[in-house]
């Protein structure tokens, strides 16, 4: 407990100067949650599956807006990376989780206070909630003080707590709690019950009759009495009889219950807004790390990537589709990882290969990595250097919509036109099997038009296609999903740099269906 000489009357502005947010180091970067929604790429990249897995069990914090947000500055991302690195210390992780549990308990107490009907019961729940809050803040500050913190966010928050616990409002509240609980503990009263009448009186000093009762009835006890314990139901709300008794007790001790009235009025808005905000925002880190720890147990890696908003030379080692990994982990199935890189003037991956060979999975992996990097999270992979895009556009095949009366080709053209109109040299485009509803010659003609526009903008792009010719254009890197050499029917789900070679897969399909030249000759001869 702080003494009077420790109390400092700091204005609220001091708190804001020392700490703003554990997610944003600059107030100008803060988001307006009312205006932020699910990004358009969420469905195609299966990011919604990742978000569901991350936020499961954290629904009360409404974390979705933080995962929807688009960070445009490498400094904000570095700010979050620093926080993630702090959590490598298990002591910090346990301290934060303990603080969050206490804050949850506090909110439950306040919720109970709102639901009960008795005035004094409401005030007592409020008092207990305030006590839990004060102890949670003190305990967290004590834990943070013992740690060698390095991040700007945690250093600022620790300094904020140091100032806050010495502020006049906090010191006054802790004193009021201690004094009021002592006064309430001293309240004693007696109930006289005659039939349906209950009388409430002050307890007299000699009103303890336990000794007399034991003396009178002790001679009737022949052998030790077994203890008899009765469990009574614990209801949040008092019944009308209990509430009336409490009202009468309050009349017997008006000064004490007046203190209870004054406490709630004086400290009605006691939870500091910055601390409440911290409690919510810190769950962004905790929830995501819980998912990465679960997936890491399957032998997969996560890393904090190097991120740049200017350098487009990117790479990743042992990257994987996190949404797929979540699904496969539940079934105890292995996940295939892939490496990739773009160097010098390389900007575009054109992916070819057999169906069901991992092409779309690679495209999603590429998009997920850059999206997760853009919100400052560790990414799936052993190491990564990624580009910070202004926006990620996706064009995946969709079912025809009878409402808009557009053909698949028309829909492809309108959607890709909209993307190319809106994107910038700092965007990323991920295209999966476009123009499949038209002839090969038309698909090739349109595909080249799209590719040339992407090349002109010098943006990063992934293009999954069955058109080998697209892999030979400028700034394009040809990569392909591979098969087992001894049995081309079997997929490895590995995607590697190699020239497109659709013929080998055509032969594999023909062999599988016994349509090779040799197979046909056999059937003719027979």
pLDDT tens across 91-122, in order? 999 999 999 999 999 999 999 999 999 999 99
| Angstrom distances, CA of residue 419 to CA of 296, 373, 394, 412, 437 | 35, 22, 8, 11, 20
Q: What is the pTM of this model?
A: 0.86
Q: What is the pLDDT of residue 484?
A: 83
Matching residue, tokens 């999603």: 364
Strand ranges inside 9-63, DSSP E: none
Helices (H), 198-357: 210-217, 240-252, 254-266, 273-296, 322-330
**Torsional sign, CA 325, 330, 333, 334:** positive
On the question of pLDDT at 222 being above 90, the answer is: no
Q: How far apart are CA 314 and CA 464, in angstroms?
A: 19
Q: What is the pLDDT of residue 518?
A: 77
On the question of pLDDT at 124 being above 80, the answer is: yes
Q: Which helix (H) or strand (E) holds 174?
A: helix 168-185
Q: How far apart are CA 448 and CA 474, in angstroms?
A: 11
Residue 35 or 438, more confident? 438
- The mean pLDDT of 132-152, rounded to a whole number, is 97
On the question of pLDDT at 512 being above 80, the answer is: no
pLDDT tens across 274-290, in order? 999 999 999 999 999 99
Q: What is the band of 402 on the pLDDT scale with cuts at 50, 70, 90? A: low
φ, ψ at 446 (rounded to 5°): -70, -40
Q: What is the pLDDT of residue 34?
A: 72
Tokens at residue 497, please? Answer: 């740099």
Q: How far apart are CA 45 and CA 69, in angstroms?
A: 16
- C-beta atoms surrounding 211 within 10 Å: 8
- Mean pLDDT over the full length of the chain: 89
CA end-to-end span of the chain, whole Å? 98
Q: Are 72 and 310 in contact (CB under 8 A)?
A: no
Q: How far apart are CA 94 and CA 122, in angstroms?
A: 32
By CB neighbour count within 10 A (0-12 exposed, 13-18 middle, 19+ buried), where does 485 fall? exposed
Q: What is the pLDDT of residue 15?
A: 42
């Amino acid at each position: 407990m702080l003494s009077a000489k420790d109390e400092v009357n700091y204005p609220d502005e001091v708190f804001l100067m020392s700490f703003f947010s554990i997610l944003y180091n600059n107030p100008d970067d803060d988001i307006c949650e009312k205006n932020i929604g699910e990004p358009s790429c969420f469905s195609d990249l299966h990011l919604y599956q990742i978000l569901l897995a991350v936020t499961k069990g954290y629904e009360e914090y409404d974390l979705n807006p933080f995962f929807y947000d688009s960070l445009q500055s490498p400094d904000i991302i570095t700010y979050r990376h620093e926080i993630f690195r702090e959590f490598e210390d298990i002591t910090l992780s346990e301290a934060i989780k303990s603080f969050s549990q206490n804050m949850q308990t506090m909110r439950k107490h306040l919720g109970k206070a709102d639901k009960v009907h008795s005035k004094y019961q409401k005030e007592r729940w409020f008092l207990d909630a305030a006590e839990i809050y004060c102890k949670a803040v003190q305990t967290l500050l004590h834990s943070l003080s013992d740690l060698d913190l390095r991040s700007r966010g945690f250093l600022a928050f620790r300094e904020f707590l140091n100032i806050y616990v010495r502020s006049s409002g906090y010191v006054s509240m802790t004193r009021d709690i201690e004094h009021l609980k002592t006064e309430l503990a001293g309240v004693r009263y007696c109930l006289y019950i005659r039939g349906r009448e209950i009388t409430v009186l002050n307890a007299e000093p000699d009103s303890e009759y336990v000794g007399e009762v034991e003396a009178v009835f002790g001679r009737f006890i022949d052998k030790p009495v077994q203890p008899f314990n009765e469990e009574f139901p614990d209801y949040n709300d008092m019944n009308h009889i209990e509430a009336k008794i409490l009202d009468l007790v309050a009349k017997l001790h008006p000064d004490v219950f007046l203190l209870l009235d004054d406490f709630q009025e004086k400290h009605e808005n006691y939870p500091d807004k910055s601390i409440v905000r911290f409690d919510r925002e810190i769950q962004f880190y905790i929830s995501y790390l819980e998912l990465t720890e679960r997936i890491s147990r399957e032998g997969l890696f996560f890393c904090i990537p190097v991120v740049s908003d200017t350098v487009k030379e990117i790479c990743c080692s042992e990257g994987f589709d996190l949404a797929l990994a979540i699904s496969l982990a539940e079934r105890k199935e292995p996940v295939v990882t892939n490496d990739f890189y773009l160097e010098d003037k390389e900007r575009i991956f054109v992916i070819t290969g057999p169906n069901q060979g991992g092409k779309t999975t690679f495209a999603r992996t590429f998009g997920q990595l850059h999206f997760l990097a853009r919100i400052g999270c560790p990414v799936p992979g052993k190491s990564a250097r990624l580009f910070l895009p202004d926006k990620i556009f996706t064009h995946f095949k969709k079912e025809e919509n009878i409402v808009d009366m557009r053909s698949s080709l028309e829909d492809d053209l309108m959607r890709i036109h909209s993307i190319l109109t809106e994107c910038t040299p700092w965007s990323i485009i991920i295209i999966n099997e476009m123009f499949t509803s038209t002839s090969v010659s038309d698909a090739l003609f349109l595909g080249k038009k799209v590719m040339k526009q992407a090349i002109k903008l010098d943006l990063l792009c992934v293009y999954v296609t069955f058109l080998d010719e697209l892999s030979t254009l400028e700034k394009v890197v040809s990569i392909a999903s591979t098969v087992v050499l001894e049995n081309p029917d079997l997929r490895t789900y590995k995607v590697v740099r190699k020239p497109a070679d659709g013929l080998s897969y055509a032969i594999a399909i023909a062999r599988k269906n016994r349509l090779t030249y040799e197979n046909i000759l056999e059937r003719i001869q027979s």
